Amino acid sequence: MATLEEITDRFKLAVGADSGLGRTLKFDFKDGGYIYIDGGKVSNENLPADCTVIVSHENFEKLAKGQLDPTMAFMTGKLKVNGDMSVAMKLQPLLAKARG
Protein backbone atom coordinates (compact mmCIF):
# COMPACT_ATOMS: atom_id res chain seq x y z
CA MET A 1 0.00 0.00 0.00
CA ALA A 2 1.28 3.47 -0.90
CA THR A 3 2.27 5.88 1.85
CA LEU A 4 0.56 9.23 2.29
CA GLU A 5 3.67 10.90 0.85
CA GLU A 6 3.58 8.69 -2.25
CA ILE A 7 -0.11 9.40 -2.82
CA THR A 8 0.51 13.13 -2.33
CA ASP A 9 3.35 13.07 -4.87
CA ARG A 10 1.13 11.26 -7.41
CA PHE A 11 -1.55 13.93 -6.94
CA LYS A 12 1.01 16.72 -7.38
CA LEU A 13 1.95 15.23 -10.75
CA ALA A 14 -1.69 14.64 -11.73
CA VAL A 15 -2.83 18.14 -10.71
CA GLY A 16 0.01 20.02 -12.38
CA ALA A 17 -0.72 23.76 -12.65
CA ASP A 18 -4.49 23.36 -12.10
CA SER A 19 -6.65 20.53 -10.78
CA GLY A 20 -9.56 21.52 -13.02
CA LEU A 21 -11.93 21.10 -10.06
CA GLY A 22 -12.69 24.81 -9.72
CA ARG A 23 -13.07 24.41 -5.95
CA THR A 24 -11.06 23.15 -3.00
CA LEU A 25 -11.07 19.45 -2.18
CA LYS A 26 -9.81 17.48 0.78
CA PHE A 27 -9.36 13.74 1.16
CA ASP A 28 -9.72 12.75 4.81
CA PHE A 29 -8.13 9.33 5.36
CA LYS A 30 -9.61 9.20 8.87
CA ASP A 31 -6.54 8.53 11.06
CA GLY A 32 -4.23 8.34 8.03
CA GLY A 33 -3.85 12.04 7.23
CA TYR A 34 -5.15 14.40 4.57
CA ILE A 35 -4.61 15.49 1.01
CA TYR A 36 -5.76 19.03 0.28
CA ILE A 37 -6.10 20.29 -3.30
CA ASP A 38 -6.58 23.96 -4.16
CA GLY A 39 -6.05 24.79 -7.84
CA GLY A 40 -2.48 23.68 -8.51
CA LYS A 41 -1.51 23.35 -4.84
CA VAL A 42 -1.46 19.90 -3.21
CA SER A 43 -0.57 19.53 0.46
CA ASN A 44 -1.26 17.42 3.53
CA GLU A 45 -2.87 20.29 5.41
CA ASN A 46 -6.17 19.86 7.22
CA LEU A 47 -7.80 23.02 5.85
CA PRO A 48 -11.49 23.76 5.27
CA ALA A 49 -12.54 22.66 1.78
CA ASP A 50 -15.57 23.05 -0.47
CA CYS A 51 -15.74 19.25 -0.66
CA THR A 52 -14.33 16.67 1.74
CA VAL A 53 -14.11 13.03 0.71
CA ILE A 54 -13.85 10.75 3.76
CA VAL A 55 -12.44 7.34 2.90
CA SER A 56 -10.08 4.81 4.48
CA HIS A 57 -6.57 4.62 3.11
CA GLU A 58 -7.26 1.04 1.96
CA ASN A 59 -10.46 1.95 0.08
CA PHE A 60 -8.78 5.00 -1.45
CA GLU A 61 -6.08 2.72 -2.88
CA LYS A 62 -8.79 0.49 -4.37
CA LEU A 63 -10.52 3.55 -5.88
CA ALA A 64 -7.25 4.86 -7.30
CA LYS A 65 -6.46 1.48 -8.88
CA GLY A 66 -9.94 1.17 -10.37
CA GLN A 67 -10.73 -1.84 -8.15
CA LEU A 68 -13.58 -0.07 -6.33
CA ASP A 69 -16.35 1.78 -8.14
CA PRO A 70 -16.82 5.27 -6.63
CA THR A 71 -20.62 5.09 -6.86
CA MET A 72 -20.73 1.71 -5.12
CA ALA A 73 -18.28 2.94 -2.48
CA PHE A 74 -20.57 5.91 -1.80
CA MET A 75 -23.75 3.83 -1.76
CA THR A 76 -22.25 1.27 0.64
CA GLY A 77 -20.78 3.88 3.00
CA LYS A 78 -17.15 3.13 2.19
CA LEU A 79 -16.81 6.70 0.95
CA LYS A 80 -18.57 9.77 2.33
CA VAL A 81 -18.78 13.23 0.82
CA ASN A 82 -19.30 16.40 2.84
CA GLY A 83 -19.93 19.67 1.06
CA ASP A 84 -20.19 20.32 -2.67
CA MET A 85 -20.98 16.97 -4.30
CA SER A 86 -20.33 18.44 -7.78
CA VAL A 87 -16.61 18.66 -6.91
CA ALA A 88 -16.52 14.97 -6.04
CA MET A 89 -18.21 14.18 -9.35
CA LYS A 90 -15.22 15.76 -11.18
CA LEU A 91 -12.68 13.51 -9.44
CA GLN A 92 -12.60 10.56 -11.82
CA PRO A 93 -10.19 12.07 -14.39
CA LEU A 94 -7.89 13.27 -11.60
CA LEU A 95 -7.87 9.83 -9.96
CA ALA A 96 -7.09 8.23 -13.32
CA LYS A 97 -4.08 10.55 -13.76
CA ALA A 98 -2.92 9.91 -10.19
CA ARG A 99 -2.82 6.14 -10.77
CA GLY A 100 0.63 6.62 -12.26
- Name the band, by pLDDT with cuts 50, 70 and 90, for residue 11: very high
- CATH code, domain carrying 58: 3.30.1050.10
Instruction: Give the structural domain span for 38.
Output: 4-44+53-98
- Average the pLDDT over 30-43 and give the result: 95
Name residues whose C-beta falls within 8 Å of residue 29's C-beta, 6 or more positions apart in sequence. 4, 35, 55, 56, 57, 60
What percentage of the chain exceeds 70 in pLDDT? 99
Question: What's the confidence (pLDDT) of residue 66?
Answer: 84
**Number of domains present in the structure of the chain:** 1
- Average the pLDDT over 12-35 and give the result: 94
